[in-house]
Amino acid sequence: MTTGFVFAITGGALFALGAAGIVLIGDLMRRILAFNLMGSGAFLVLVGLAQRYDVADPVPHAMVLTGIVVAVAATALALALVRKLHALTGEIELPDDADE
């Protein structure tokens, strides 16, 4: 088992943990953390699986960098929204959705 593969397996596990967190956790701050965990998992898989040769493959590195930028942006947006929700309702959990 190569190091890359270990990274990939770990990445898969992190992804699953993060995804489960987003679905199951009500607290929005922890949900945002879970999302970041999920994203990191995907990046680990991307880099880890590509390490089949001795030479590092630059393409996934470039992709992960891009991915991190996207994740940062998404996190910022999520935080801004949670702040706004907190300011409006005093809660950091999602209210029930109602059609009235």
What's the closest the beta carbon of residue 58 comes to other proteins, in angstroms?
A: 9
Considering only residues 33 to 92 of the shown chain, the ones binding other proteins according to CB under 8 A are 35, 38-39, 41-43, 45-46, 48-50, 57, 59-60, 63, 66-67, 70, 73-74, 77-78, 81-82, 84-85, 88-89
Alpha carbons 100 and 84: distance in angstroms, whole number:
23
**Which of 22, 62, 69 is closest to 46 using CA atoms?**
62
User: Least distance to other proteins from the beta carbon of 78, Å?
Assistant: 6
**Could you tell me which of 18, 13, 5, 2 has the C-alpha nearest to residue 47?**
5
